[in-house]
Amino acid sequence: MSDEPLVLGIETSCDETGVGLVRGHTLLADAVASSVDEHARFGGVVPEVASRAHLEAMVPTIERACETAGVSLGDVDAIAVTSGPGLVGALLVGVAAAKALSVGLDKPLYGVNHLASHVAVDQLEHGPLPEPCLAMLVSGGHSSLLLVEDVTTGVEPLGSTIDDAAGEAFDKVARLLGLPFPGGPHIDRAARSGSSVAIDFPRGLTSRRDLERHRFDFSFSGLKTAVARWVEARESSGEPVPVGDVAASFQEAVCDVLVRKALDACVDRGVEDLLIGGGVAANSRLRSLAEERAAKHGIRVRVPRPGLCTDNGAMVAALGAEMVVRGREPSTLDIPADSSLPVTEVLL
Amino acid sequence: MLLALDTSTPLVSVALYDDGIVDTATSERPMQHGEQLAPMITAALERVGAIRQDVTAVAAGVGPGPYTGLRVGLVTARTLGLALGIPVYGVCSLDVLGVEAADTAGEPVVATIDARRKELFWAEYDEQGQRLGELHVERPAAIAERLDPGRLVVGAGPQLYPEAFARTGAPERPSAATLALVVAEERAELVDPEPVYLRRPDAVAPGPPKKVS
Ligand SMILES: [Zn+2]
């Protein structure tokens, strides 16, 4: 046995009910129940459907995590939970469950930031985080560039999307192309049969003027509209839509902007480690393009495996364990679920 | 010791029962179930000098009631049950209201809980507090039309829609103390701690993508 703390983490900010167990930097269990199939026919996450599913999944998912890890709840040293940002009704289910565990087990509670958890999770795979590091978080809910000095106290937002999140753009373009929700994996697959230079789609916020005000911000709404226009023009001229080419060219436009801005931020802040997280980090082109270009700048790229990039409880447990190890003050039982929790508030 | 809680209304109600009610508390701030429930439970235990292991069962109001608060109560009850290894019972929150009102008035009553969107969750009870018929969700005017005009209406309805009902009375909301008594004396059906929604989630499947040009 080790002296490292056994931490249980709960994540319910969107449509995944995640319960993870970690001991220090070691992942013991990562149980996830997803309601994604219930949202698929609506083309996006329906908050009430997600909240109902979280309530149903909570206890079975906690039990499954304990079983997988081979621990009993009584062995747990601390509880961590996503307090925000996210869907408020969904967050509340996880926060209330975490408080009940804290009361029932008489163990400290850590209400943590979802975005910081996406950063901390990489420790489970690649060991201690380089300090500082630059984190790019891209998913259906977020697109942020963060300078991380200390993931338990100091996260500085450098930029974020000014309209759609990157993952949202994938979902919307997938829908235009008749591909299922969530769009990311389907675009990635379709893109393999197409050419990334077939269509020259716009790169949002990269003009010289935009770079003055929005150097590290993203915009994907114009790109999405450009793809829609292009597809409509094809359809109205009676020509078939080359799904592979559209998918590959769209994906290239997104990845190009993401990687360009992330590396620009690394160079600007003199940071040598880039960490990519969030569901879009599972995109194969984003990974390869980041590695290819980062190497030229002498920047190391860390990307957790896809299962740890999407929302899960292990990432929350990972951040919680770091809080315990670094001796941070636990949260009180009256903390709220904050749907718009700023990333600078890592611990409530 | 039985821990009872209800979150089917804007306020949180908590009670401890040990051969009789030993503690009861109601929250002061509305719509803050998530912030208030857990501290209210620990405060109640502290007041009676009990520890968490003294709790041998949890009972929770399963609604119907506004969903966000309701879920806070039910996930708390279920997870606490798991952590302590103790049983968790559910009781319909309208039944709790019906029992207390019928006991007080000694006559049949109609119990109501705010359902938002200008509607009420409601059910009818006999003079013993036993439910007659189904749970419903309807507009106040539609409920009044269905009722004998002399029928006593309790709960949120009289507060929110005084003009709709001729005879109104207390209590205004289900209390955890009555909930605990109802469980201890088996005066209502014990059910799984599943929320009573009575409505499907609002969600519509999207049409084809909108044209942009
Ligand atoms: Zn996320």
Residue partners of A18: CB distance under 8 A and separation at least 6: A9, A10, A11, A12, A30, A31, A32, A61, A311, A312, A313, A314, A315, A316
Interface of B with A (CB under 8 A): 32-39, 41-42, 52, 67-68, 71-72, 74-80, 82-84, 195, 197, 201-206, 209, 211-213
User: How many residue pairs from chains A and B have C-beta atoms closer than 8 A?
Assistant: 124
Residue partners of A268: CB distance under 8 A and separation at least 6: none
Taking contacts as CB-CB distances below 8 angstroms, the residues of chain B near A175 are 206, 209
Q: Which helix (H) or strand (E) holds B159?
A: helix B156-160
**What fold, for B93-169?**
Nucleotidyltransferase; domain 5 (3.30.420)
Beta bridge partners of A84: A113
Residue partners of A189: CB distance under 8 A and separation at least 6: none
State pLDDT tens for residues A115-157.
999 999 999 999 999 999 999 999 988 899 999 999 999 899 9
Neighbours of A332 (CB within 10 A): 13
Q: Does domain B2-92+174-184 have CATH number 3.30.420.40?
A: yes
Place of tokens 């009610």: B21
> Rounded mean pLDDT of chain B?
95
Nearest CA in chain B to A333: B39
Cβ contact (<8 Å) for A92 and B68? Answer: yes
- For B107: left if phi > 0, alpha if psi spans -120 to 50, otherwise beta; the answer is beta
Measured distance CA(A300)–CA(A252) in Å, rounded: 21
Kindly give the pairing relationship between strand B2-6 and strand B13-17.
antiparallel
**pLDDT score for B213:** 56
Could you tell me the residue ranges of all domains in chain B? 2-92+174-184, 93-169
A280 C-alpha to ligand 1 centroid (Å): 10
Beta bridge partners of A111: A81
A100 lies in the same domain as A13: yes
What's the domain range around A51? 6-121+312-325
Nearest to B161 by CA among B122, B191, B194: B122
State pLDDT tens for residues B108-144.
999 999 999 999 999 999 999 999 999 999 999 999 9
A257 lies in the same domain as A161: yes
State pLDDT tens for residues A277-309.
999 999 999 999 999 999 999 999 999 998 999
Please report, for residues A15, A232, A280, B197, the alpha-carbon distance to residue A174 in angstroms, rounded to integers and kept in the order given. 19, 14, 14, 34
Cβ contact (<8 Å) for B79 and A59? Answer: yes
| Closest CA–CA distance from residue A95 to any residue of chain B (Å) | 7
Taking contacts as CB-CB distances below 8 angstroms, the residues of chain B near A83 are none
Measured distance CA(A153)–CA(A155) in Å, rounded: 7
Encode chain A in three state secondary structure. CCCCCEEEEEECCCCEEEEEEEECCEEEEEEEEECHHHHHCCCCCCHHHHHHHHHHHHHHHHHHHHHHHCCCHHHCCEEEEEEECCCHHHHHHHHHHHHHHHHHHCCCEEEEEHHHHHHHCCHHHHCCCCCCEEEEEECCCCEEEEEEEECCCEEEEEEEECCCCHHHHHHHHHHHCCCCCCHHHHHHHHHCCCCCCCCCCCCCCCCHHHHHHHCCCECCHHHHHHHHHHHHHHHHCCCCCCHHHHHHHHHHHHHHHHHHHHHHHHHHHCCCEEEEECHHHHCHHHHHHHHHHHHHHCCEEECCCHHHHCCCHHHHHHHHHHHHHCCCCCECCCCCCCCCCCCCCCEC
What number is the average pLDDT over the span B39-59?
Answer: 98
Angle between helices B33-47 and A88-105 (to 10 degrees): 20
Q: Identify the three-state secondary structure at position B200.
A: coil
State pLDDT tens for residues B139-154.
999 999 999 989 999 9
> Rounded mean pLDDT of chain A?
95
A154 lies in the same domain as A223: yes
What number is the average pLDDT over the span A78-98?
Answer: 97
**Residue A343 counted as domain residue:** no
A16 lies in the same domain as A159: no
**Residue A202 counted as domain residue:** yes
Nearest to B112 by CA among B85, B150, B144: B144
Cβ contact (<8 Å) for A104 and B83? Answer: yes
pLDDT above 80 for A176: yes
Are the folds of B2-92+174-184 and B93-169 the same? yes
Measured distance CA(B88)–CA(B78) in Å, rounded: 6
pLDDT interval class at A63 (50, 70, 90): very high
**Residue A164 counted as domain residue:** yes
State pLDDT tens for residues A204-238.
999 989 888 999 999 999 999 999 999 999 999 99
Kindly give the pairing relationship between strand A78-84 and strand A109-113.
parallel
A198 lies in the same domain as A154: yes
pLDDT above 80 for B208: no
| pLDDT > 70: percent of chain A | 99
**Residue A344 counted as domain residue:** no
Cβ contact (<8 Å) for A100 and B80? Answer: yes
A192 lies in the same domain as A68: no
Residues with CB under 5 A from ligand 1 (ion): A 139, 311
Angle between helices B33-47 and B67-84 (to 10 degrees): 40
A291 lies in the same domain as A319: no
pLDDT above 80 for A195: yes
Nearest residue, CB atoms, B34 vs list A92, A105, A229: A92
CATH of the domain at A148: 3.30.420.40
Task: Give chain A's domain count.
Answer: 2
Interface of A with B (CB under 8 A): 41-44, 46, 48-49, 51-52, 54-55, 58-59, 62-63, 73, 88-89, 92-93, 95-97, 99-106, 172, 175-176, 225, 228-229, 232-233, 332-337
A311 C-alpha to ligand 1 centroid (Å): 5
Among A26-30, A100-104, A287-291, B199-203, the range scoring the smallest mean pLDDT is B199-203
Q: Which of B46, B54, B70, B75 to mutate to test the interface with A (most CBs of A within 10 A)?
A: B75
Taking contacts as CB-CB distances below 8 angstroms, the residues of chain A near B208 are none
A111 lies in the same domain as A177: no
**Residue A243 counted as domain residue:** yes
A212 lies in the same domain as A83: no
**pLDDT score for A141:** 85
**Residue A210 counted as domain residue:** yes
**pLDDT score for A3:** 81
ipTM of this model?
0.95
